[in-house]
């Protein structure tokens, strides 16, 4: 059917649930995709001509909002909400295995997938993660995610099985897994003054914080010796505010800062001359 007007699609970060909902809604490169910070504006949420995916309006499917993060809102993921709505209009049963996979993964985690740990690499989640690693622009990530899921359906592959035909994505994910394992192996550990588990390391691996969070770190100090030619520190808290130490860091070296959430801090864009040991001492004492 010929589309009368270009749609506006609003998203936050791209994950499988966002891409899955966009796939079912037949988002294409003809649509105008906008990546927003936080939730969409009240005006956009109430505008039925603006499609909001995972950026507010939980349960407001009648307004073209597909989200499930508001307390008391839908328990189903965005992709399952879209599927149920569309399936009421016409049979979309051929898409259910994909929708079911994404819904379980998004709402319950990988442990909810019975055979998830037994399927040979790469899984659907592995390939999607590899795509995100090779493409950093969120608008392009959404388009490539939709195209990836469309290809999985088109080729008749089992979403719960090993996924074939996406070698570059699988290779990116495999490399990421290796770097993650190396980062965890290199990390050193300490306990802060209030009993927080602190992991710290020097590595060029971008996913160091997440890798150490996965090993139980509550606070991570990561030093990248050459991030675009700059010696850069990142301090992250896994659900823990780390900004109480910001004044002391800036007293040692100007330029430290972070977002209002207070869960992540970074050294100056010009780079840092402080040692990893100095930063760890501040973290241990102040958190």
Tens-place pLDDT, residues 123-171: 999 999 999 999 999 999 999 999 999 999 999 999 999 999 999 999 9
Domain-wise residue ranges, the chain: 8-167, 187-286
In this structure, are residues 107 and 154 in contact, taking their beta carbons and an 8 Å threshold? no
Both tokens assigned to 87: 């399936």
Where would I find the H helices in 155-275?
A: 167-186, 208-213, 246-252
In this structure, are residues 45 and 65 in contact, taking their beta carbons and an 8 Å threshold? yes
Most confident of 66-70, 131-135, 183-187: 131-135
Cα dihedral sign, 143-115-73-81: positive
Query: What pLDDT shows up at residue 53?
Result: 97
Residues 194-249: pLDDT tens digits?
Answer: 999 999 999 988 788 888 998 999 999 999 998 878 899 999 999 899 999 999 99
CA triple 194-197-200, angle to 5 deg: 120
In this structure, are residues 274 and 254 in contact, taking their beta carbons and an 8 Å threshold? no
Return phi, psi of residue 3, to 5°.
Answer: -80, 135
Burial of 114 (0-12, 13-18, 19+ CB in 10 A): exposed
Rounded to whole angstroms, the Cα distance separating 14 from 78 reads 12
| The domain over range 187-286 is classified in CATH as 3.10.310.20 | yes
- pLDDT band for position 2 (50/70/90)? very low
Lateral strand order in the sheet of 65-66: 32-35, 8-11, 50-53, 65-66
- pLDDT band for position 114 (50/70/90)? low
Query: What pLDDT shows up at residue 117?
Result: 59
Burial of 90 (0-12, 13-18, 19+ CB in 10 A): exposed
- pLDDT band for position 115 (50/70/90)? low
- pLDDT band for position 3 (50/70/90)? very low
- pLDDT band for position 1 (50/70/90)? very low
pLDDT at 116 over 70: no
Rounded to whole angstroms, the Cα distance separating 70 from 200 reads 34
Determine the average pLDDT of the residues in 59-65. Answer: 93
How many other C-beta atoms are found inside a 10 Å radius of the C-beta of residue 121? 12
């Amino acid at each position: 059917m010929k589309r009368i007007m270009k749609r506006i699609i609003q998203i936050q970060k791209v994950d499988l649930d966002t891409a899955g909902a966009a796939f079912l809604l037949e988002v294409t490169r003809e649509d105008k995709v906008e990546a927003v910070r936080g939730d969409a504006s009240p005006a956009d949420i109430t505008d039925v001509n603006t499609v909001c995916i995972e950026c507010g309006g939980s349960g407001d499917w009648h307004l073209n909002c597909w989200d499930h993060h508001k307390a008391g809102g839908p328990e189903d993921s965005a992709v399952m909400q879209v599927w149920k709505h569309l399936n009421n209009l016409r049979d979309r049963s051929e898409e259910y295995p994909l929708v079911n996979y994404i819904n379980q993964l998004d709402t319950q985690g990988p442990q909810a997938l019975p055979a998830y740990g037994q399927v040979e690499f790469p899984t659907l989640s592995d390939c999607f993660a590899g795509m995100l690693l090779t493409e950093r622009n969120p608008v392009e990530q959404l388009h490539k995610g939709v195209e990836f899921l469309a290809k999985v359906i088109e080729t008749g592959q089992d979403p719960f099985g090993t996924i074939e035909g996406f070698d570059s994505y699988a290779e990116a994910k495999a490399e990421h897994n290796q770097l993650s394992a190396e980062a965890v192996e290199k990390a050193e550990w300490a306990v802060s003054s209030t009993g927080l588990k602190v992991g710290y390391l020097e590595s060029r691996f971008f996913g160091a914080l997440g890798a150490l969070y996965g090993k139980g770190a509550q606070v991570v100090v990561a030093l990248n010796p050459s991030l675009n030619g700059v010696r850069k520190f990142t301090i992250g808290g896994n659900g823990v505010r780390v900004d109480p130490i910001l004044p002391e860091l800036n007293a040692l070296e100007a330029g430290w800062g972070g977002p209002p959430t207070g869960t992540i801090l970074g050294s100056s864009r010009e780079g840092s001359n402080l040692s990893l040991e100095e930063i760890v001492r501040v973290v241990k004492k102040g958190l």
